[in-house]
Amino acid sequence: MTLNKSSDRNGFEVDGVRMEITRPHPLVYPMSVYSIPQKDSGVNALIKLGVSIINNTPMPFHLNLFQSFIPELVTSDGQIIQGYLVTKEVITNTQPNKLLENSQKQKTGGLQIRPESSFGFRLNAILSWQNNSLQLKIPSPNNVLSSDNMHYFWCFDGLQAHTYQFRFILNTEDKPTDALESNLRQKTTISENRSKILATPWVNLRLVYPLSTDNTAIEVNDIVFKVEMPKSVLNIPARQTVTRTDVKLRIHITNNQSTVLRFYKVDSFELILIGDEGKEISFGSNPTKHVREAETIPNYHLIKPQESAVCDLDGILFWDCGQLDFAISKKSPHYFTGANAFDYFLDLQPGASYQIQVVYHVIEQKKKQLEGQLLEKVWTGWVAMPLVEFCLVES
């Protein structure tokens, strides 16, 4: 078994197989920032992770339940945050894991990745307060291979408003032992078996408290991001009608730096909707309603020092085939006309409460491509803003 370290990815490749974190990708977003939920709110913030295993060999690559997937979390100065495993029968992932085109799931609870192919899956980590301690809870990737209802979760306690580094490691050696026992033992012996270990690149995670003066805003490198929902109590439209309820979501961006910054808007906002039990609401999109904006129309805000700009996200509540749906358009009506792509959240429940989290992200490549042609700097990054709550009431 040959181990190669890829210096540009800071990860390990074993015999032509490598593993990457695809969301948030460390090359596209060198730092991802997440707002810490209020301690007394009981709200769980989601950190949506994507992982991909790439088989660049002419032979199939096999995974099974006995191979140890382990998340590692360290501080910015290299201090290891010790994690521990817990088990639950409740599955926290509400979106199905996706196999990439040339992958094949096995009935026995394993996986075969075909030659020159990939396998990708998603995990919803949870950032919440447990017993007055900030905890990050990460579903084990072994859950993806499991066919039963018992799932494993790695927990990291006592986190602070700091920058952490995070990655997954995988022991590629088969071990015919219980997966829980295997993971616990592997955690203590991982340094002894480097020749059998795949490792993703490190991802930088920065945890930030909301402002003490405004719990709907966070400040990141002298830029303040604030999310506002003018109406938090929404009347449900009458059934069996075409009546719709308008929903307004407003993003304020304040530039406290000393230079003018360019903030892009189109396709830069992502919404996460969380239900009463802390689970993500099913998500979809409708590309048929997308109209491409003319290239001559600005799709950004130029914000001078000590000034702000507002981005409005317009949504609607409506009934469709007997279920209550929430659709939101990420277009800016100030600049654009006509229809645009809508994001849909399906099957909401009358009388329930929900939390919305807005993620604003602009890729690092855009900055490199444009700054040589522009007079101002381009803001890039990944910021998950504080959650805002709303409830649905019947008129």
Q: What is the phi-psi region of residue 78: left when phi exceeds 0, alpha when psi lies from -120 to 50, beta otherwise?
A: left
Q: Are 312 and 332 in contact, with CB atoms under 8 Å apart? A: yes
Q: Are 202 and 10 in contact, with CB atoms under 8 Å apart? A: yes
Q: Which token pair is 206?
A: 């920065």
pLDDT in tens, the chain (395 residues): 344 544 344 567 788 899 999 999 998 899 999 999 988 777 889 999 999 999 999 999 888 767 778 999 999 899 999 999 998 754 444 444 443 333 344 444 578 899 999 999 999 999 999 989 999 999 988 877 776 666 789 999 999 999 999 999 988 775 544 444 445 444 544 444 555 788 999 999 999 999 999 999 999 999 999 999 999 999 998 887 778 899 999 999 999 999 999 898 767 889 999 987 778 898 776 543 433 443 444 578 899 999 999 988 888 999 988 889 999 875 544 333 344 567 889 999 989 999 999 999 988 776 666 666 667 788 999 999 999 999 999 87
Name residues whose C-beta falls within 8 Å of residue 395's C-beta, 6 or more positions apart in sequence: 235, 236, 238
HSE toward the beta carbon, residue 298, CA cutoff 13 A: 8
Please list the alpha-helical segments (H only) found in the chain.
142-145, 179-189, 364-370
Question: What distance in Å separates the CA atoms of residue 31 and residue 277, rounded to the nearest whole number?
Answer: 29
Question: What distance in Å separates the CA atoms of residue 43 and residue 384, rounded to the nearest whole number?
Answer: 14
Chain-centroid distance of CA 300 in Å reads 23
Q: Are 352 and 394 in contact, with CB atoms under 8 Å apart? A: no
Find the helix or strand (DSSP H, E) in which 40 lies.
none
> For 217-394, CATH number?
2.60.40.3880
Sequence spans of domains, the chain: 3-208, 217-394
Encode 23-59: b = buried (16+ Cβ within 10 Å), e = exposed.
bbbbebbebbbbbbbeeeeebbbbbbbebbbbbeeee
